[in-house]
C-alpha cells in the first residue's frame, strides 16, 4: 500500500455503541476500505458484519490494516487502547483534553512496541478544532482565539455520566453563551473564560435515593464538569426517552487579530445533526491516513496536527493538486 492508495484498507472496529455503528456505516461507503469485523464482548450484535470475540482480537493482527477504537474516553480508552495498539494500527477519539499528553505517551510506547501507528484524538474537538486553532494562531502575530461548543449533546461527557453507579440513563448538553460568541467575533474575547462561557446541562434517570450522591459526583468530576457551570436535572425514564434521543451538536473556533493595522476574523463552525456520524466521518478519514503512515514505516503515536491533509483523502495527491490548488 502506498500514499496514493494501491490496495484496499482492511478495517476492524472495537465497540458497537453509537460511534461504532456510525463508523460501520461510513467504512462501508468507502471505495478503498473493507470491514473485516467488529470485535465485541457480546456474542451477537444487530449487524450483518462478522462479530468476533474481543478476546480473540490478537489473532487478527495480520488481517487488519487499521482498527477503529470506538470506546468511551472516561475509562475504556485509557484502560484498553494501549493493549490494542501493541497489535494493531489504531485510530481513537479520546477527548479528555487535559489528559491527552498522558494518553499520547501511553499510546506511543505501546504502538512502537508493536511496530504500529496509533493515531489519537480524532473527531471534531479534539480534531478539526485543533487544526483550526493551530492555523489561526499561526496566521496572526497576536491572535485572540476562542472556542465554543454546542448547543449540543456531548458523547464523551454523556458517557462519563452514564458510568456513575446508579445512573440508569443520562445525557449531557453543552450550551455556549451567545454574548460571549459575539464578543469573540468583534475581537473582544480576551477576557472570556471557557468555563464561564458554557453551561453543562445533565439529564439523568436514577432512583431518588441516589440523586444527591450522583449530583455531587457529576459537579465535582475533574476535567469533565468541574469547574464548569453544571446543571443536573433528574427526570423520569418516560421523559428521557421522549425528549433526549437525538444527538445534535456543533461549535465554532473564532480567531481575530491585527494584521499591520487591519483587523481580520477567521471563524470555523460546525452544525451537526448527529454528533456520532460526524465524529465517525473524521475518524474513518484519519483511519486512511493511519494505514498509509504505517505502510510507510511510521510507528508510534500521531496526532491530527502531524498528518498531511492529503493522507486523509481518497483522491490521489496529483489530482488534489490539480483540482484544489
209-264 pLDDT, tens digit per residue, is 999 999 999 999 998 999 999 999 999 999 999 999 999 999 999 999 999 889 99
Residue 74's pLDDT is: 84
Spatial contact of 19 and 75, defined as CB atoms under 8 Å apart: no
Residue 279's pLDDT is: 96
**Closest-CA residue to 217 (of 17, 95, 19, 74):** 74
Distance of alpha carbon 175 from alpha carbon 200, whole angstroms: 6
**Closest-CA residue to 217 (of 199, 230, 198, 235):** 230
Q: Which residue has the cell 471505495?
A: 31
State the average pLDDT over residues 106-127. Answer: 97
Lowest mean pLDDT among 46-55, 110-119, 155-164: 155-164
Interior angle at CA 137, CA 134 and CA 143, nearest 5: 155
What percent of the chain clears pLDDT 90, i.e. is strictly above it? Answer: 92
User: Considering the entire predicted model, what is its pTM?
Assistant: 0.88
Please say if the pLDDT value at position 204 is more than 80: yes
Spatial contact of 12 and 39, defined as CB atoms under 8 Å apart: yes
- Number of neighbours of residue 227 by Cβ within 10 angstroms: 11
Q: What is the mean pLDDT of the chain?
A: 95
Please say if the pLDDT value at position 12 is more than 80: yes
Please say if the pLDDT value at position 5 is more than 50: no
Residue 156's pLDDT is: 83
Residue 140's pLDDT is: 93
Contacts of range 2-5, beta carbons closer than 8 Å, 24 or more positions apart: 2/292, 2/295, 3/292, 3/295, 3/296, 3/310, 3/311, 3/317, 4/316, 4/317, 5/32, 5/288, 5/292, 5/314, 5/316
User: Where do the H-state alpha helices sit in the chain?
Assistant: 18-27, 76-87, 100-114, 128-139, 155-162, 178-185, 211-219, 237-243, 275-295, 317-324
Residue 165's pLDDT is: 98
pLDDT category of residue 4 using cuts at 50, 70 and 90: very low
Beta bridge partners of 266: 255
Please say if the pLDDT value at position 147 is more than 50: yes
Amino acid at each position: 500500500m502506498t500514499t496514493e492508495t494501491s490496495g484496499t484498507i482492511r478495517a476492524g472496529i472495537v465497540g458497537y455503541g453509537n460511534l461504532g455503528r456510525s463508523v460501520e456505516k461510513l467504512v462501508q461507503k468507502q471505495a478503498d476500505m473493507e470491514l473485516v469485523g467488529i470485535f465485541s464482548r457480546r456474542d451477537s450484535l444487530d449487524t450483518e458484519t462478522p462479530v468476533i470475540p474481543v478476546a480473540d482480537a490478537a489473532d487478527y493482527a495480520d488481517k487488519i490494516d487499521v482498527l477503529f477504537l470506538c470506546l468511551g474516553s472516561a475509562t475504556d480508552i485509557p484502560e484498553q487502547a494501549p493493549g490494542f495498539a501493541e497489535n494493531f494500527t489504531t485510530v481513537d477519539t479520546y477527548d479528555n483534553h487535559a489528559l491527552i499528553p498522558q494518553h499520547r505517551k501511553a499510546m506511543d510506547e505501546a504502538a512502537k512496541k508493536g511496530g504500529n501507528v496509533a493515531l489519537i484524538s480524532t473527531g471534531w474537538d479534539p480534531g478539526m478544532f485543533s487544526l483550526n486553532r493551530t492555523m489561526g494562531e499561526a496566521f496572526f502575530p497576536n491572535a485572540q482565539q476562542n472556542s465554543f461548543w454546542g448547543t449540543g449533546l456531548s458523547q464523551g461527557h454523556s458517557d462519563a455520566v452514564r458510568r456513575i453507579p446508579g445512573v440508569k440513563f443520562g445525557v449531557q448538553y453543552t450550551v455556549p453563551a451567545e454574548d460571549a460568541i459575539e464578543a469573540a467575533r468583534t475581537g473582544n474575547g480576551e477576557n472570556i473564560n471557557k468555563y464561564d462561557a458554557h453551561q453543562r446541562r445533565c439529564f439523568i434517570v436514577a432512583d431518588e435515593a441516589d440523586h444527591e450522591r450522583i449530583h455531587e459526583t457529576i459537579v465535582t468530576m475533574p476535567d469533565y464538569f468541574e469547574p464548569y457551570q453544571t446543571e443536573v436535572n433528574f427526570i423520569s425514564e418516560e421523559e428521557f426517552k421522549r425528549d433526549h434521543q437525538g444527538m445534535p451538536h456543533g461549535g465554532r473556533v473564532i480567531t481575530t487579530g491585527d494584521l499591520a493595522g487591519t483587523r481580520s476574523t477567521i471563524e470555523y463552525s460546525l452544525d451537526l445533526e448527529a454528533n456520532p456520524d460526524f465524529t465517525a466521518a473524521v475518524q474513518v478519514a484519519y483511519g486512511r491516513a493511519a494505514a498509509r503512515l504505517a505502510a510507510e514505516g511510521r510507528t508510534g503515536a500521531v496526532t491530527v496536527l502531524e498528518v498531511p491533509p492529503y493522507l486523509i483523502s481518497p483522491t490521489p495527491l496529483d489530482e488534489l493538486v490539480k483540482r484544489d490548488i
